Chains A and B, each alone.
Chain A
Amino acid sequence: SQKIEQNSEALNIQEGKTATLTCNYTNYSPAYLQWYRQDPGRGPVFLLLIRENEKEKRKERLKVTFDTTLKQSLFHITASQPADSATYLCALANFNKFYFGSGTKLNVKP
């Protein structure tokens, strides 16, 4: 069965630095991959989508890469701010099914 791995340990960084989160997957060939932000007790909020034929996608301070050979996506937040502190989930999708990783908690310290 498909497996999606995100670092379960929290990522602690200093304000202004670049945060990099990793999403690895096995036994799957997704048509596209998405990143979501989830705050405690809330539903996920969509951030970025990248398709299998795209290498990189940017949106303001966010950047996502997608390497289908390595089966890995990297999610970058540049010039991080304390308000960026949250759990970030990656989701793989094909046809009508979505599979989520367990998320990585990001703590940005002032």
Chain B
Amino acid sequence: GAVVSQHPSWVICKSGTSVKIECRSLDFQATTMFWYRQFPKQSLMLMATSNEGSKATYEQGVEKDKFLINHASLTLSTLTVTSAHPEDSSFYICSARDHSGRDRNIQYFGAGTRLSVL
């Protein structure tokens, strides 16, 4: 099946620094990728939809200047948390859809990134 790789899996940073998270589709091309945030024992909250070659579509309440998304190629999307603060600490997960695959409606998820801001 389709594989999505997310890196890093865990990052600790100081308040005020920026953190970049990478999401790669390893064996398929993903024109659309999604970024989610998940708090303990809560649902995945969609932050934004990343579109290859164009601007990301952010969900209501998500600061686009805070969470920068770049989807420069068909296999890579990045999420940069700028000037991170402790309240940004969370579990961030990316996903991608294989539009050329047998079932285009399945989302394949990365393993997630645990961000801790001190």
B34 to chain A: which residues have CB within 8 Å? 98
**Do B32 and A43 touch across chains, with their CB atoms under 8 A apart?**
no
Within 8 A of A (CB), among B82-102: 91, 93, 95
Main secondary structure of the interface of B (DSSP, over half): strand
Residues of A within 8 A of B95 (CB): 43
Distance of A49 Cα from B102 Cα, bound (Å): 13
Chain A: interface residue total (CB-CB under 8 A): 23
Q: Which residue of B lies closest to A48 (CB)?
A: B106
CA A91 to CA B95, docked complex, whole Å: 13
Q: How far does the alpha carbon of A34 sit from the alpha carbon of B108 in the complex, in Å? A: 12
Cβ of B32: which chain A residues have Cβ within 8 Å of it? Answer: 96
Interface residues of B (CB under 8 A from A): 4, 6, 32, 34, 41-44, 46, 49, 91, 93, 95, 103, 105-112, 114
The 16 listed contacts between A and B (C-beta, < 8 Å) are A34-B105, A34-B106, A34-B107, A36-B109, A42-B112, A43-B6, A44-B93, A46-B106, A49-B105, A97-B46, A98-B107, A100-B43, A100-B44, A102-B42, A102-B43, A103-B43
**What 12 new A-B contacts, CB under 8 Å, besides A4-B43, A45-B109, A89-B44?**
A34-B105, A41-B114, A42-B112, A43-B6, A43-B93, A43-B95, A44-B93, A44-B109, A46-B106, A93-B105, A99-B46, A100-B43
